Amino acid sequence: MPHLLSLIREDVATVMEHDPAAKSRLEVYLCYSGLHAVWFYRVNHWLWNHRLFLLGRWLSQAARLLTGIEIHPGAKVGRRLFIDHGMGVVIGETAIVGDDVTLYQGVTLGGTGKEHGKRHPTLEDNVVVGGGAKILGNITVGRNSRIGAGSVVLRNVPEHSTVVGVPGHIIFREGKRVVITDPKQINDPLSEALAAVATEVNRLRDRVQRLEGSEGKGDPLSATLQQIMEDVDYQI
């Protein structure tokens, strides 16, 4: 671990540069448990790579006790990882984290429970993951992408994208808004239910129009149904 001290200095400098809440270097050294967890990880990863698996694992649990952050010593973590607030962050054994990544509290880089081997995500450089987000499985989040707070991401995310929701879907790509027109793109059981409701409303509107023997122009009931259809279309 010849570089440990220089990595620590680099981490502190990065926090001073990017976190407006950081008032002094001493404060960052003493109060940023996200950094403490990363420093523990650097030692534990070295132990892991030197086949001291149990010691590395045991120390990672000690680090979790002290910081509330669990980084498996087998994970591969790049430089200047910033875990802000930190409590509840979990980084799995086969996760790969690039340089200059930011994770907020409650983030999980976990497995789906269905895969073997490489079963945790890869985050490329400059990714930001919002509080409570879950990124699951052997997927890749491309560089400079952002994952919204509370999202659950189960599919690859391209570079320069913003993803929100459960399950996560892209709302911005390369700075442009992405509009979802097909509910299947979200792959959310709820949007299937909404699509079914929209179909049913359509069917009922046709029926009401037939019963009334009109096209419904100027008819308040049809106007209301039309409004419902438009709202539902917008939501899905």
Ligand X SMILES: CC(C)(COP(=O)(O)OP(=O)(O)OC[C@H]1O[C@@H](n2cnc3c(N)ncnc32)[C@H](O)[C@@H]1OP(=O)(O)O)[C@@H](O)C(=O)NCCC(=O)NCCS
Q: What is the DSSP string of 145-189?
A: -EE-TT-EE-S-B-TTEEEETTTTEEEEETTEEPPP--GGGTT-H
| CB 206, min distance to ligand X, A | 30
Q: Of the two residues 215 and 234, which places its CB atom closer to ligand X in the complex?
A: 234
List the interface residues with ligand X, window 158-217 (CB under 6 A). 162, 164-165, 171
Q: Is residue 131 close enough to count as binding ligand X by CB under 6 A?
A: yes
Instruction: Assess 22 for contact with ligand X (CB under 6 A).
Output: no
CB of 28 to ligand X, least distance (A): 17
134 scored as a contact of ligand X (CB under 6 A): no
Label each residue of the chain as H, E or C.
Answer: CCCHHHHHHHHHHHHHHHCCCCCCHHHHHHHCHHHHHHHHHHHHHHHHHCCCHHHHHHHHHHHHHHHCCEECCCCEECCCCEECCCCCCEECCCCEECCCCEECCCCEEECCCCCCCCCCCEECCCCEECCCCEEECCCEECCCCEECCCCEECCCECCCEEEECCCCEEEEECCEECCCCCHHHCCCHHHHHHHHHHHHHHHHHHHHHHHHCCCCCCCHHHHHHHHHHHHHHHHC
Which C-beta is closer to ligand X: that of 59 or that of 163? 163
- Shortest Cβ distance from residue 50 to ligand X (Å)? 36
Give the nearer residue to ligand X in terms of CB position, either 59 or 133: 133
**Is 148 near ligand X (CB under 6 A)?**
yes
Query: Per rule CB under 6 A, is residue 130 in the interface with ligand X?
Result: yes
Closer CB to ligand X, 121 or 148, in the complex? 148
Residues 26-85 that bind ligand X (CB under 6 A): 85
Residue 55 vs 152, nearer CB to ligand X = 152
85 versus 118: smaller Cβ distance to ligand X: 85
CB of 87 to ligand X, least distance (A): 11
> Is 101 a binder of ligand X (CB under 6 A)?
no
- Provide, rounded to whole angstroms, the least separation between the CB of residue 134 and ligand X: 12
Under the binding rule (CB under 6 A), the answer on residue 94 touching ligand X is: no
Please name the amino acid found at residue 131.
G
Whether 120 contacts 139, CB under 8 Å? no
Binding site for ligand X (CB under 6 A): 85, 104, 130-131, 146, 148-150, 162, 164-165, 171
